Each structure stands twice: as C-alpha cells, then as structure tokens.
C-alpha cells in the first residue's frame, strides 16, 4: 500500500509539472482576474481593471492531529474555466424580480505531494461584480473525524486601505452581531479582533471590496481580524472550545462556505449585487406560494417593555389593519416566562387568549407572528411540536431570538429550523442572529434576520445616529435583509435626543421614511406605537410603500455621508435618500428612468426640520426624466418619493 501511495504521488508530481502551476479565472467582462498558485505555498491574488486589489495571499487549513494543509499541491487533472449562467425568479423579491448572472468557474482538483498526501478541491467563481472560492475537504485515510483548528485564508489588500469595522465587542466569538461600523485603517486592525462581516474595504476612492461568506452548511462562520496589514480569517469555535480550539468537525466530504470578494469602483454597487444568493442552491420548497412577507406592526419598541395584555395587542392589530399591513407580531412573554426548563411555547400565558387574538386579526385581514426564545425552541426539539401547533392555529411566522452564536452547531440548527418551518408553512425571522448568507434563496421562508444595530438601541443610548444609519446600507445590508425595525415617528434633532421612554429617534421624519426604501427588509417590522403613527405626517407613505421589489438601483452616496436608492415595484419607482448630520443639497440623476414625463409625489424635510424634526412637506409635481431632481435635506434628514410615468 505504501509503495502505491508513493507511486501515485510521483505520477501526480509528473502530471503537475506538465500542467500550469497557476490557474487564472476571469470575469465574463474581463475586468476581474483571480489567479490561484499551486507552486510552493498555496495562494491566490485578485486584480481589478489591471490593479492588484488582493496581493498573493495564503490559503489552507490547520488541523488537530494533522500537519497543516497549505503547500505542496499539484493539479491531478487539467483545469479549464467554464462560462456558466445562473438565472432564476426569486420567490421573495428582495432586489429584483428576475436575476441573471454570468460567471466563469474553475475547479482545481489537487493532491498533496508532501506531508500526508491528502486531496483537496478548490472551486473558483468570478462574476462581473466579484469573485468567490470555496474548499472541498475529504475524509481521512483512517476512520474518525477530522478537526479544523484554523483557516489560513487571508486577504492582503494594498497598504493604505481602510475598512469599515464592526467589532463584536467584549463577547468574543458569541454575541448578537450588533455593532456600529467605523472607518479604520487596515494597518491598525489587530490579530485579536473579532470583527463582523460584511467587511467593506476602501483601497482608494475608485476601488472597493466587500468581504463576506455565503452558503454556510455544517461549517462555522468567520470573523475578520488583521495581522501585518493582511485581513485574516477567524472561524467561530465550537462551544466549550477556546479561540485556538476546534472550529469544525467532519468525517465525510465537506464543502466550506464560499469566501466572497465583491469588487467595484463604488461601494454602492454592492447593494445591487445578487452574488450571495447565486452562491446558494435553488429553492427547495416545492410550492412556496404561501411565502408572502410584508409590513408588520410590533408591540415592543416604543415602550420600556412589552405590555402583554389583550387590549394592547388588539390596538396593534388595529394599527396593522388601518395601515393595510398584513401582519402583527406578538413579542416575548406571550407564553409567560421564557428561557426556563418549564417554559412552554405552545401554551399562552393566562391573560392571553390566542384563539381570540387570531380570530380578531383574521376579521381585519391581519395574520399573527409569534416570538420564541431559542432555548425554549431547541429544548427537546420543541420546535417540531410548536411549529405543528402554530400551523394549526394559523400563525404566519416565528421570530426566534437569542441564539447569539455562529459556530458549526448553531449553523446546522438554523437549517433544521427553516426546513421544519417550511414543512408547516411558517416564515422565519432570526433575532440575536449571525449575518445572512443567502440561505433565503434555498429556503425563502427565512425572510429576514437581525444581526444589526437597529432602532431598539435608541432606547438605551445615542449610537443610532444618522451616520450610523447610512453606514448600515454600505456594510451589514450587503449580506442580505436586515430587521432594523424602522418606523420611529417620535423624531428629534441629534442635539435634542434623550434616552427616554417613549423612545425617540435622532433623525427627521423623512429620514425615517427613507429607511423603508433604502433598507432591504421583505418582512418589515414597524417599531412605533399606534398613537404615534396614525394620522401623522408620513403615515400615508407607509400605507403604500412595498417591502419587495422588481428592480433596485444605487443612485449616489458614500458611507457615513448620504445615500440615494431607487427601487421599482411594477410600474412605480420609489426613491429614498438619507442624510448624515450635515444639511445637504443634492441633484439626483433620474437616468434610471426611460425618457418621458413623470408625476413625482414626494415627502421632504420641512423648512424647520433642523429643529422640528417631524416637519414634512408633502407635494406632487411633474418632471421629465432628462432633468435631475433637486432636493434639500436637513441635518439628519431624508427624502422619499413615488415616481409614476404619465407621458
């Protein structure tokens, strides 16, 4: 047997010498090139329009009880990139009604000629707006599990690059992934950091990358850090393992998640991208016509705590009905005390008559979502019983909270949850969750998740600033839909904001309205109370703004300064613009519209909005598409409009 292995290695080495020691994969338009080098240490590099944006960077893994897999590989067969087309109509149209992407793909089948003589595949895809790669690892020659302790993938961006860093705080590799994103020199990032994805990197004002992952399955997610100016991969360890411990266990063929590098000359282009979805398998729900996300009233944000009383819940059902929203969320404590061994998510608290609430909502054209604590959901696989009960009740979806992990075990648990929920026609919103990875293409009932520092933090501090809200669109939102929970109608200028109950938001009313256009949230949870919304300026806009879209266009903007996005539903375009703390005049290009005349109904900051943040100007005008739209925004301001063709 030993002689056979030596002979095989020798043949592979001879074959490798006859083949190229590097494989180049270009984007279909030729602007992006990813090169994999197998000569010596395994590495890759990326260029964009001829400029190096990722210099030669290591690849590979370290294992417990094995030597590192990072060098001495040869190709065992020729590798020719092939052009592919990925086209589909999303069940939930987060950005587009139809998606068609072209990419070139190469699969490198490699054998290790040194150390342990192991096999590994490396798959590369290069799109017109980015590149992605993943490893395929195989079982050991001896029975038992293989244990990964470290992924060696690095991203050596050019010196002088900046990253918008969202730190996971003091929670290490656990936590809810809710952070502000701060522009930071990559050179100042450290090896000990645990930074959130997506990681937006500015190489210069004409070259940007965004690092993230896609299609997590039986493998942990990764956090970013940096060593000697290179961005490094820090996998989330298994529970009870430390930072240097075991990250993933497998005994059979294992694909890693895709490592994704979005690439563009403007960071706003990443908002339009469908790469993350493309890197996931097609929909597995045979008939998903029951997956219909939309706007949802919510009984938790504005108050100090949930008022779990029948009359209060009915007020929120009435709010949803009055606004034409299809859903209302009954949040925590509806089944009494939670996160306890005796907690039962199938039995409502004594003061709650769930059947009466469901019937009350149904009479008004509203369906109910319910909240669950993750421990109550997981205990003895309670979710299997609960989901069957909820389907019988007619519940539309579940909000599952407080997982606060991204390790291999919880990644697999997420998949079990969404699959079981699909069997019972339940939509899912994960809170206390890690960032999205495109699973919604495969399981579209996973309609939104948190993993974002959203509106709830306005209750506790002053971090939810206009700049922060803009940054989210260029950072966290690149991974997918986020449950920020917009809709705060108690608006105050930044200098007048107080941490108080009822809660307020330090931006203008129009800035708040713009979040409904700018943020990706097909299941959009509206945070404020009925008395602060009904009859107020902008409530009419919330009656008509959709949550799913047929087209999405980034118009203009820059992280922390401002952002303008246009989205289309059928024949109507919706424009959302959000500003930072400095008053601003803009000319918005309407070149995304076909030539013609249009009616524009808009909601704009009033003249006094710098001091009276709730002041709104609501008017209708007409304009030709050839002419730019001039708008003024107050400090912390915004602008929204509907645009309909008339000629």
Note whether 112 and 187 are same-domain residues.
yes
Name the β-bridge partners of 111. 74, 119
pLDDT tens readout for residues 460-479 = 889 999 999 999 999 999 99
CB-CB neighbours of 6 under 10 Å:
11
In a domain, 485, yes or no: no
- Element holding 359 (H helix, E strand): helix 354-363
Q: φ and ψ at 272, to 5 degrees? A: -80, -15
Residue with tokens 């809200």: 469
- pTM beyond 0.75: the answer is yes
Q: How far apart are CA 248 and CA 111, in angstroms?
A: 22
Q: What is the pLDDT of residue 134?
A: 98
In a domain, 40, yes or no: yes
Note whether 264 and 301 are same-domain residues.
no
Q: What is the pLDDT of residue 59?
A: 98
Pick the last residue of a domain from 420, 451, 482: 451
Pick the last residue of a domain from 215, 244, 278: 278
In a domain, 539, yes or no: no
Note whether 273 and 300 are same-domain residues.
no
Asked if residue 282 has pLDDT above 70, the reply is yes
Note whether 185 and 227 are same-domain residues.
yes
Q: What is the mean pLDDT of residues 9-21?
A: 46
Q: Looking at residue 161, which CATH number applies to its domain? A: 2.70.98.10
Q: Per the omega criterion (within 30 degrees of 0), is the bond before 429 cis?
A: no
In a domain, 251, yes or no: yes
Q: What is the mean pLDDT of the chain?
A: 95
Split at pLDDT 50, 70, 90, the class of 115 is: confident
CB-CB neighbours of 217 under 10 Å:
18
Q: What is the pLDDT of residue 89?
A: 98
Note whether 300 and 269 are same-domain residues.
no
For the stretch 408-425, what's the b/e string if a residue is b when 16 or more beta carbons lie within 10 angstroms of its beta carbon?
bebbebbbebbebbbebb
What does 93-110 look like in DSSP terms, one character per residue? -SS-SSEEEEEEEEEEEE
Distance of CA 491 to the CA centre of its chain: 27
Q: What is the mean pLDDT of residues 247-254?
A: 97
Q: What is the pLDDT of residue 2?
A: 38
Note whether 261 and 302 are same-domain residues.
no
Lowest-confidence range among 149-153, 170-174, 344-348?
170-174
% the chain with pLDDT above 70:
96
Split at pLDDT 50, 70, 90, the class of 4 is: very low
Q: What is the pLDDT of residue 11?
A: 40
Asked if residue 600 has pLDDT above 70, the reply is yes
Name the β-bridge partners of 596. none
Note whether 274 and 304 are same-domain residues.
no
Note whether 339 and 268 are same-domain residues.
no
Split at pLDDT 50, 70, 90, the class of 627 is: very high
In a domain, 489, yes or no: no
Q: What is the pLDDT of residue 166?
A: 97
In a domain, 28, yes or no: yes
Asked if residue 19 has pLDDT above 60, the reply is no
Split at pLDDT 50, 70, 90, the class of 251 is: very high
Number of residues written out for the chain = 647
> Which DSSP state fits 238?
P
The side-by-side arrangement of strands in the sheet containing 32-37 is 22-26, 32-37, 43-48, 51-58
Q: Looking at residue 385, which CATH number applies to its domain? A: 3.20.20.70
With a CB cutoff of 8 Å and minimum separation 6, the contacts of 523 are 293, 294, 296, 327, 397, 427, 429, 447, 448, 481, 483, 547
pLDDT tens readout for residues 358-380 = 999 999 999 999 999 999 999 99
In a domain, 411, yes or no: yes
Split at pLDDT 50, 70, 90, the class of 308 is: confident
- The total domain count for the chain is 2
In a domain, 338, yes or no: yes
Q: The domain containing residue 408 runs over which residues?
A: 295-451
Nearest-CA neighbor of 604 among 573, 576, 638, 563?
638
Note whether 114 and 158 are same-domain residues.
yes
Q: What is the pLDDT of residue 495?
A: 81
Strand pairing report for 254-255 and 248-250: unpaired
Note whether 416 and 444 are same-domain residues.
yes
Note whether 202 and 313 are same-domain residues.
no
pLDDT tens readout for residues 519-572 = 999 999 999 999 999 999 999 999 999 999 999 999 999 999 999 999 999 999
> Which DSSP state fits 576?
E
Note whether 272 and 300 are same-domain residues.
no
Pick the last residue of a domain from 251, 278, 305: 278
pLDDT tens readout for residues 488-508 = 999 999 888 778 778 899 999
For the stretch 117-156, what's the b/e string if a residue is b when 16 or more beta carbons lie within 10 angstroms of its beta carbon?
ebbbbbbbbbbbbbbbbbbbbebbeeeeebbbbbbbbbbb
């Amino acid at each position: 047997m030993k002689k056979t292995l030596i002979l095989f290695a020798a043949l592979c080495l001879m074959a490798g010498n006859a083949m190229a020691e590097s494989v180049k994969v270009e984007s279909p338009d030729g602007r992006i090139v990813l090169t994999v080098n197998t000569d010596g240490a395994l590495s890759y590099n990326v260029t964009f329009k001829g400029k190096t944006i990722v210099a030669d960077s290591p690849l590979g893994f370290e294992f417990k009880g094995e030597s590192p897999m990072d060098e001495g590989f040869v190709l065992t067969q020729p590798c020719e990139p092939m052009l592919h087309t990925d086209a589909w109509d999303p069940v939930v149209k987060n950005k587009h009604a139809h998606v068609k992407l072209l990419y070139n793909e190469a699969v490198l089948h490699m054998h290790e000629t040194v150390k342990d003589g192991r096999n590994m595949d490396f798959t590369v895809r290069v799109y017109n707006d980015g590149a992605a790669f993943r490893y395929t690892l195989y079982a050991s020659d001896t029975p038992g599990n293989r244990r990964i302790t470290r992924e060696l993938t690095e991203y050596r961006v050019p010196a002088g690059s900046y990253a918008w860093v969202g730190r996971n705080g003091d929670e290490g590799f656990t936590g809810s992934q809710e952070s502000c994103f701060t522009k930071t020199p990559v050179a100042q990032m450290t090896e000990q950091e645990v930074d959130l994805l997506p990681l937006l990197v500015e190489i210069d004002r004409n070259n940007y990358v965004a690092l993230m992952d896609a299609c997590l399955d039986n493998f942990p997610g990764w956090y970013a850090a940096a060593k000697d100016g290179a961005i490094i991969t820090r996998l989330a360890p298994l529970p009870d393992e430390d930072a240097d411990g075991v990250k993933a266990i497998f005994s059979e063929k294992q694909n890693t998640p895709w490592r994704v590098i979005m690439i563009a000359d403007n960071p706003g282009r990443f908002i339009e991208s469908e790469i993350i979805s493309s890197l996931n398998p097609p929909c597995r729900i045979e008939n998903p016509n029951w997956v219909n996300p939309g706007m949802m009233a919510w009984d938790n944000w504005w108050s100090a705590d949930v008022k779990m009383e029948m009359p209060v819940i009915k007020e929120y059902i009435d709010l949803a009905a009055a606004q034409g929203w299809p859903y209302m969320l009954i949040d925590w404590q509806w089944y009494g005390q939670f996160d306890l061994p005796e907690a039962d998510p199938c039995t409502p608290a004594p003061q709650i008559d769930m059947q009466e609430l469901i019937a009350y909502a149904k009479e008004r054209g509203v369906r109910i979502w319910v909240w669950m604590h993750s421990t109550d959901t997981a205990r003895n696989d309670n979710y299997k019983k609960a989901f069957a009960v909820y389907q019988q009740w007619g519940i539309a979806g579940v909000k599952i909270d407080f997982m606060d992990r991204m390790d291999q075990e919880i990644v697999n648990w997420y998949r079990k949850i969404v699959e079981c929920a699909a069997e019972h026609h339940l939509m899912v919103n994960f809170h206390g969750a890690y960032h999205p990875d495109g699973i919604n293409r495969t399981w579209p009932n996973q309609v939104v998740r948190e993993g974002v520092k959203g509106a709830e933090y306005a209750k506790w501090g002053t971090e939810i600033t206009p700049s922060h809200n803009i940054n989210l669109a260029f950072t966290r939102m690149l991974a997918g839909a986020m449950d920020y929970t917009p809709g705060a109608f108690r608006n105050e200028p930044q200098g007048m904001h107080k941490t108080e109950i009822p809660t307020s938001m330090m931006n203008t009313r129009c800035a708040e309205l713009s979040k409904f256009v700018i943020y990706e949230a097909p299941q959009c949870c509206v945070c404020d109370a009925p008395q602060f919304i009904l009859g107020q300026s902008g409530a009419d806009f919330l009656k008509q703004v959709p949550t799913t879209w047929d087209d999405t266009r980034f118009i203009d903007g820059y992280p922390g300064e401002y952002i303008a996005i246009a989205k289309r539903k059928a024949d109507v375009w919706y424009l959302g613009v959000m500003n930072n703390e400095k008053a601003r005049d803009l000319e918005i290009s309407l070149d995304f519209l076909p030539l013609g005349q249009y009616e524009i109904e808009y909601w704009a900051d009033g003249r006094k909005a710098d001091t009276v943040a709730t002041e709104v100007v609501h008017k209708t005008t007409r304009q030709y598409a050839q002419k730019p739209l001039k708008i003024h925004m107050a400090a912390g301001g915004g602008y929204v409009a509907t645009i309909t063709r008339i000629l």
